[in-house]
Structure 1
């Protein structure tokens, strides 16, 4: 128990002030932040003079603690001073200052993401909050007996997120815990069940405790409202019945650091935050949302209208809704009864029963996707879990695999988030083989399942590799659809093919009857057959177009064509465009954007590209069946719709749309390959090639050589192709060839590209121990990098340079700067910077400190096998020095596996040498010899000469003849031969001969 003065001060009328300043836009929000920081700084200075400190911020309020020996009069004077600050008067606001001398506890309460918050607790805190609720303005100071220790407190760690204005969703949870134990239990459950959600802080409140959750920081997903409602739904199952309320609101939020000079917290300001806080106090056992925020979520959730309510501090009443449950969602493919296809259905039924792998092949529009749906229903009826995947027409790497993972139930798909991160470039060190092996292992845990694949003809190379493994390794039914444009894929996968044919006349008549709701006349059937060729999708589109335009009518209980036949569309493409042309301007623009983005587009991507005001139009397109939706994915009902709209665009318009899409994807951090694809179609060659280069480097580092080569083929600029070749040779350990090409590239390249080339040369010279040339390359890169874009990489390379020269103090300085910058920027390669600091301490002999940095590097390396290899190597060497040879051997073997998987010759060279020394010391001579020769082979590959240490290993392991033969080889370095020959002669007992020669 602590004792002392608890202080609470807040600003009266803060919500109206926020609304007033919000009218100025982001400028007003920044003005509000400056005002708050001035207020908190003045408060911190005055409280600090009395020996106290601020312990928590809550929007416009702060909690502070002062020592118990401060006199009541001094507290009153401080309160008077702080309620009459000039900064409060500058915006016409007033304040209340409540102080109470009491006993209290400071609880450490779990947040999410492993963070902890401090919360004042106890009866004294309850009285403080009650006084705050009863006081309009001015100073209230109450002194009562208090026993306990003075509170000392500790500094709070701030998240390294830059200040920004961005759309976000705020969720306030307001609940009344029965006691401290219940509060801590519930906070613990929230932390456990929602580990990835950002619960930013806990705030004491008059009627309980409030928790603030933020969605959209630090990275937007585009699904913030859905995520917030899903979290609220989860929280409702954790909280005590009837003692809670949740408010959710979306809007523009300012995020940044607030506070004084010493105590600072990350804070969030904006109308959305204020509204969510007020809503959380407006009910009991309810989840409340303003009407204006329903559009994004009403497709997935049910709501009940609660009416208009007045919220404290807001000028106008707010119309709110209460969450009542989740909707059942699903794809609406089945608009009409299935006609014919008895032969195909028997084929599918047999495949499911006998666990065969089959492909339904045919031209676009024949109903392959509809047959896949029927296959899924049959599989479910036979007790299978159905997994659905589809390929992208752009053949974007991993598209089929990604869709397969996303088709899993949420609980299962969450298990594969690391693999999705790998697809998105977030786990750069993760290897494809490891990722797919782990995924296969997890899939084996959900057997039996049936796999359905739509548009197999567009499958990318990586997905096909996995599919081949899946077909061979799992005894499951696999049913795919494919166009005829890529017939070698089913053959390669060993899948049985059934060709799908168009409808005959009878089937066309039955299908038309289902669409029209009545029997078509013979002349109408003839017309449909003539214009559609019996292709089901074409039939549907033509009849819908005719029906909507009033070009068919019922006569004598049959549907007939009206007289003006010249107005009928004469092909299915004109039918699609005819429907397209009747949409309003915004609907057309949405369809144009989507046609440029692909057949299937995730909602998140659409949010990032299209204005939010278009969402109602998009939903209308979905209702009309022009665009379909399955959970978070929007897609054209048929690829031909997309192709028709896309090809109807003028080239200039296509380029404009692709440019806008590429810019949006780049802004929101999508994969370089996808960004490059759109820049290329926009005709922006330089921007496309910049991103292709990033994708190329990313793929090579993951070991995806074939995929990297495919990217290289897309690049036309010779200089860039040469750089890619140099980078590939460098990654392959062919440093001499890489240097030759990179030097030529450096003469011709410009801008960012020139800087990257000099940094590549610096890495080559580092490995070759040519430090003067390394320094020159770094100086050139530093000179060119005027914007500081490559500062992190430069600091790191300068640290390596001074490290190589043995100037460890300068190296440490640059490595520390690199680590600090990496932490601030939250770069994914922070593990490398930990390693570099460990390496300096290792060389200085501070092995315990080095051990700590290496283990930190290993902990933060994630799936980065290259960094793991380096850490295992150095830890193995530390245990070597500590004479724990068994542990040393285990770490070195792990290092060798990591370097082998990442195709890193230099790393393997170092490990083989280290293992040779270990085995020599352990008396395992044959193994020592084996690894010594492997190190020598790699030395020849890298440096072009034999490894002198191999000679010593052979000699001291007793292989004297091998050592004699080895030292006399042509490529043995002459400068070493003269020094090492006496050791050989000594071992051979030729000391006298040596003396005579001297």
Structure 2
């Protein structure tokens, strides 16, 4: 865009020297810089705005403003006059103002007139830069050398426009100073502002706490072609090249600066969110990259790079505000840019040193640069050396462990992965071994993916895996824009796991951004969500390991959440081409459980680290002190205290050195105290004491840094530390303190491509530092840190656990409760049930958390569901009942009340059936949600009652939940619990009522269109139809439910639906091979998920099919495996089936005694249970058949066996009243009894009835079985 106008450039004269003096004052000086600059700019911005101008850009301690010309309102002459009048007004107000005692500032101004061009250039990741050019700016640059403090300089063109009206003082170049003679037009404005002249003392309340000193590397890039000749067609690709280079290397463009020297790109590394441990190295690499691109574009340029401390903070006021950088490094980079030959780069000595050995530099002859007293050494970067940097201390001892780890790396090189567990106490050397693995693997061109758990993140699902997937998905190399990252991640999934693309949202816990749920993942919760997440994560890990020889390392496993351990062990079993290593302390329950699970892995190896030997300990101490050998008495003293513990030995040696007992000089160790007195020197006798003694010797500032860092965690970033420090003083001072702590071996620099990161060398150092804080200090720091996190991230979901932890330590109950609830919900949704139990237990255990009984009730319901997730039905039931009690609905505690409650709820349900318009009340949304919340409690209790085979409780809770859900209106809860009632009505043989509930559940399902509800409804309807032998309907409904659950990855309910299909295939089609194959899949699914009940379903169904096919040995093998699952609580129904089937199989195999034993146990268990599941049929029938045969074979008194047989037939008869599928077998058994009693006619009538039912119910196997009995006993068939 091009327009005529006047341009005013204002430079705060004297600010550079002023900022140098203030910077030397430390934190107080930083405050003053922010105050001074903002106060000065506030005055200038306000005046420019009031007099019709617009500030288009700040340029360090200067600004550029324009007055545009609107031909319909005023002329270019009037625009120049307005700019001149504004400049003169500001000079009169601000010239030689004593801002602070002895510190004077003034202004230099230049005005140009003519065409002004502006354009937005760049656009990479939607980041645009403002570029300005044109005649007006060229005039300012041409005459700026003649500008003077306290005066307003007009370019020749500007003077020509207003010189006739206002006399001016000419310069030799034709420019002129606007007259200092007072003009009437200025009198009113000057007087108006007299009362607002800057005060002599600036108030502290004006401090901008965001201002700070930062160690940055700055790049100035200037094009050698004159700005007025540089068109947008050239500037646009050049800007893109600079943006790409800075993005790639972790930096950012600060601005395109327009000042009296011209225009230049200013870019930097070291600004917030762009700070790394090797910023200078990255900056030089970025400069070399942009140099190459600009050369290809044929664009002349010069680049200057400087590293140093700068002021970084916001400047301006409500009219315009932006961040700026000020300091010697800025000035030096600009001077280096001006001095550089065309197409070349010049660096200062600090940048060259900080870049290290990774860049080839050519040293140039020192030169004098403007504003500097001494000649400056210059360096030209020529390219990268490729030199690798290494850090870490020498690994001493551990030869057996090193040999084992090398062998595992050798196997990986040959394509075979494995699982290694390093277990040892704190400080025993686990981290050093992990560093060895990383170095060794890198040297072998293997890829290492490393993650670490954290004490403060124990409730955060998958926390240690975040950095692993961050590296695997190469998130650092992607653009910063979230949409671009999202597309890149989705593309990776599409290429690596196309069949799992719909599961992409499940990666959210390991990503720095959220992927919104879709129709498939939205209904996934709990174990279903966890199983699917693991499937996708393992597939991505497997794809990566298949392409590269991958070493996956997880440190501090004792702090990892259960989801992380589950994923680790699943990955270990599924990734044959990856080496997985986890390092842990031995005392964790998770570690012990992981060790037990890893025993199933054929390639698992556990390395338990013991103390070092005497020689190894002495070698370690000598290495850490940097000496060839230790005096014998020193070694003996340390070993007597440390007993071979590496970290203890090391810290004790440091403590002796720091306290002056030892002197280290020229590689030799000398004892400065009398050797006889050495044993009397008091040293702490614990590791914690040693560390504390070292911290006590640090200066106060360094101690404070350690203490604040300890609140953040073992690993801490510079920005989090800087944001939490209770006193000002970041920037170079804080970096220097951190460097000192690193040199003292208390902290280490952690490699990171995203942010400057440190870690405590050992967690004990963190713990000791934290324990030195007073309670009040901890509260304040935890609160400050939590607030910092809340202010830094728009999406806080990855930090819920961390925020709950810090707010709890800050004793902020409302915020703690807020985040704990979200931690619990997040954990439950991802299947991390142990963590969900922990979060909700904390909530229900803290009475101060609950704002109301409704909140506490909701938390107890959530805790109950979490207990269900881990299979603890007793605690789950207790919590759900407690929730209902808090809602004012305590479950019945006596048999009498239990019956009255059922009668009352049944009557209410009958009323709902008769007068459906009274179902839904005119409830508010909050009241409706309360009803649904209560309904959920009953629904879960009904589910528990079904699985523990308590039909009375099932009916009680289902009626309550259904009545509440119907009052609340259409909802997934209503659809699901209506389908539950369909099954319950069927069990009660109320088939007309069951069909009414089928219709209600289907109608509601179609209105809500929610997949999980649809699958649940279809599964329950199929369950009802199977029990009533409506095979086509049953298979249709179960088939659709199976498809939904399989797509959702809901393994638990897929297994249940598939079991319906297994029995339909057997009972209806007599397709035993297909039924057996599907049962085997159910077994395998249960094995993978650890669901013992599903495993038992698969085994029992296969055994029943083997019995049908007359294969007793195969059936016995399967049943024996199922019997081993009984201690895992597979359920009473499964135990009954198992005992009864074992009785029949042993009888057919000739094991009469075993048959009798299992039959007695089966009969006892069967009498303890009501018939609630159709698939119990085979077990009930097996018991009856076994006892008939035992009665028939009895030679003596048969009264006892007759009684047992009659009891079994009575049980089967009652079962058949509920589930008609048992009728053919019942009458076949009754016919056999009649035959053996000699009543042949009755036997034939019963067999005929059996055949009629078998054909009516379309059960071909039952028909053929009855005919076989008839042939065997009667010698004829039907």
Decide whether aligned partners of structure 1 residues 299 and 710 sit closer, same or farther in structure 2, where only a CA change above 3 A counts.
Answer: farther
SS at 2:568 equivalent: helix
Residue 679 (structure 1) aligns with: 807
Q: Matched residues in 2 for 1:175 and 1:118: separation?
A: 15
> TM-score, structure 2 length as denominator?
0.48
Corresponding residue for residue 839 of structure 1: none
Distance in structure 2 (CA, Å) of the matches to 1:94 and 1:414: 44
Please report how far the alpha carbon of residue 367 of structure 1 lies from its aligned counterpart in structure 2 after TM superposition: 2.2
- How far the C-alpha of 1:425 sits from its partner, in A, is 7.0
Q: CA deviation at 1:624?
A: 2.4
Task: Verify the 8 A CA contact 2:456 2:801 in the aligned structure 1.
Answer: no
2:121 paired with 1:109: yes
The alpha-carbon distance between structure 1 residues 582 and 349, as it changes in their structure 2 partners (threshold 3 A), is: same
Structure 1 residues 652 and 322, CA, compared in 2 at 3 Å: closer, same or farther?
farther
Partner of 1:210: 264
Where does residue 563 of structure 1 map in the other structure?
676
Contact 1:603 1:633 in 2 (8 A): yes
Structure 2 counterpart of 1:935: 1006
Relative to structure 1, the CA distance from residue 770 to residue 39 in structure 2 (aligned partners, 3 Å threshold; closer, same or farther) is: farther
1: CA distance between counterparts of 2:365 and 2:39?
Answer: 35
State the superposition RMSD in angstroms. Answer: 5.7
Task: Tell whether the 8 Å contact from 2:972 to 2:1005 is kept in structure 1 after alignment.
Answer: no
User: Does 1:402 pair with 2:466?
Assistant: yes
- Pair 712,63 (structure 1): closer, same or farther in 2 beyond 3 Å: same
1:173 equivalent in structure 2: 220
Aligned to 1:138: 153
User: Aligned in 2, Cα 1:115/1:478: closer, same or farther, shift over 3 Å?
Assistant: closer
Flag the 1:579–1:41 CA change in 2: closer, same or farther, 3 A: closer
- Per-residue deviation, 1:629: 1.9
Give the equivalent residue in structure 2 for 1:44: 52
1:472-621 aligned at under 5 Å gives the runs: 472-474=573-575, 475-485=577-587, 486-493=591-598, 494=601, 495-511=604-620, 514=623, 517-518=627-628, 527-549=637-659, 551=661, 562-564=675-677, 565-569=679-683, 571-573=685-687, 574-610=689-725, 611-612=729-730, 613-621=733-741
Moved more, 393-402 or 620-629: 393-402
Displacement of 1:592: 2.9
Once residues 523 and 31 of structure 1 are traced to their aligned partners in structure 2, the CA distance between those partners, rounded to angstroms, is 66
Q: CA deviation at 1:553?
A: 9.1
Q: CA deviation at 1:579?
A: 2.9
1:359 aligned residue: 421
1:234 maps to 2:286? yes
CA distance in 2, matches of 1:520, 1:701: 57
After TM superposition, give the deviation of residue 627 of structure 1 in Å.
1.9
Equivalent in 514, 525, 529 of residue 427 of structure 1: 514
2:759 to 631, 635, 639: 635
The separation in 2 between residues aligned to 1:122 and 1:91, in whole angstroms, is 29
Counting matched residue pairs gives 741
Distance in 2 (CA, whole Å) between partners of 1:182 and 1:941 is 57
Per-residue CA distance 1:580-636 (angstroms, 9 max, x = gap): 333232333333333343332233322323442343232122112222222343223
- Match of 1:478, SS state, is strand
1:8-157 superposed matches below 5 A? 8-11=7-10, 13=12, 16=15, 24=32, 26-44=34-52, 60-63=63-66, 65-66=68-69, 74=77, 78=81, 82=85, 86-92=89-95, 93=107, 95-100=109-114, 106-117=118-129, 119-121=131-133, 126=138, 129-131=141-143, 137-140=152-155, 142=157
TM-score scaled to structure 1, two decimals? Answer: 0.60
Q: How much has 1:73 moved relative to structure 2?
A: 8.1
Show the counterpart of 1:389.
Answer: 451
- Residue-by-residue CA offset, 1:688-732 (whole Å, 9 max, x unaligned): 334434545666677866644432223333474653763897999
Alpha-carbon distance change, 205 to 907 in structure 1, aligned in 2, over 3 angstroms? farther
Q: 1:376 aligns with which of 429, 438, 462?
A: 438
Is the CA contact (8 Å cut-off) linking 1:580 and 1:588 kept in structure 2?
yes
Other structure's SS at 2:125 match = coil
CA distance in 1, matches of 2:700, 2:540: 45
Counterpart-to-counterpart distance in 2, 1:216 and 1:534:
42
DSSP-derived class of the 2:428 partner: coil
Alpha-carbon separation, structure 1, partners of 2:369 and 2:58: 26
Q: Structure 1 residues 85 and 725, CA, compared in 2 at 3 Å: closer, same or farther?
A: farther
Q: 1:201 to 1:597 in 2, by over 3 A?
A: closer
Distance 1:346 1:479 in 2: 12
- Verify the 8 A CA contact 1:171 1:212 in the aligned structure 2: yes
- Give 1:250's aligned residue: 310
Distance 1:70 1:539 in 2: 83
- Give the structure 2 partner of residue 886 of structure 1: none
Q: Distance in 1 between matches of 2:655 and 2:277?
A: 36
The DSSP-based 3-state class of the residue aligned with 1:338 is coil
Secondary structure in structure 1 of the residue aligned to 2:722? helix
2-structure distance, mates of 1:276, 1:558 = 45
CA distance in 2, matches of 1:318, 1:700: 66
Residues 909, 16 of structure 1: CA spacing in aligned structure 2 closer, same or farther, 3 A cutoff?
farther
For 1:477, what is the secondary structure of its paired residue? strand
Q: 1:447 aligns with which of 548, 552, 562?
A: 548
Q: What secondary structure sits across from 1:44 in the alignment?
A: coil
The answer to whether residue 682 in structure 2 is matched with residue 624 in structure 1 is no
Which residue of the partner structure matches residue 714 of structure 1? 842
How far off its partner does 1:186 sit?
0.8
> What is the rounded CA distance, in whole Å, between the counterparts of 1:931 and 1:441 in structure 2?
41
CA distance in 1, matches of 2:831, 2:45: 50
How far has the Cα of 1:472 moved from its partner?
A: 3.0
Q: 1:541 and 1:667 mapped to 2: Cα distance?
A: 38
Contact in 1 for aligned 2:219/2:283 (Cα 8 Å):
no
d(CA) in 1 for partners of 2:274, 2:284: 18
Contact 2:422–2:608 (Cα < 8 Å) also in 1 = yes
Larger Rg: 2
Mark the CA change 1:362 to 1:660 in structure 2 (over 3 Å): closer, same or farther.
same
Query: Residues 215, 384 of structure 1: CA spacing in aligned structure 2 closer, same or farther, 3 A cutoff?
Result: closer
* Cα distance change, pair 771–107 in 1 and its aligned pair in 2 (3 A): farther
Q: Which residue number corresponds to residue 189 of structure 1?
A: 241
- Does structure 1 residue 773 correspond to structure 2 residue 924? yes
Q: Which residue of 2 aligns with 1:5?
A: 4
Distance in structure 2 (CA, Å) of the matches to 1:728 and 1:228: 54
Secondary structure at the aligned position of 1:237 is classed as: helix
Q: CA deviation at 1:175?
A: 0.8
Mapped partners of 2:93, 2:774: distance in 1 = 57
Are the counterparts in 1 of residues 469 and 511 from structure 2 also a CA contact under 8 Å? Answer: no
Per the TM alignment, residue 471 of structure 1 is displaced from its structure 2 partner at its CA by 1.9
Structure 1 regions of 5+ residues with no counterpart? 46-52, 145-162, 260-264, 747-767, 779-903, 911-927, 951-960, 963-998
The structure-2 alpha-carbon separation of the partners of 1:472 and 1:618, relative to structure 1 and needing over 3 Å to count, comes to same
Kept in 1, the 8 Å contact 2:10–2:108? The answer is: yes
1:833-912 superposed matches below 5 A: none
Contact 2:707 2:772 in 1 (8 A): no
How much does 1:488 deviate? 1.8
| Residue 449 of structure 1: how far off its partner (Å) | 1.5
Q: Could you tell which deviates more after superposition, 165-174 or 591-600?
A: 165-174
The reply on whether 1:726 has 2:858 as its aligned counterpart is yes
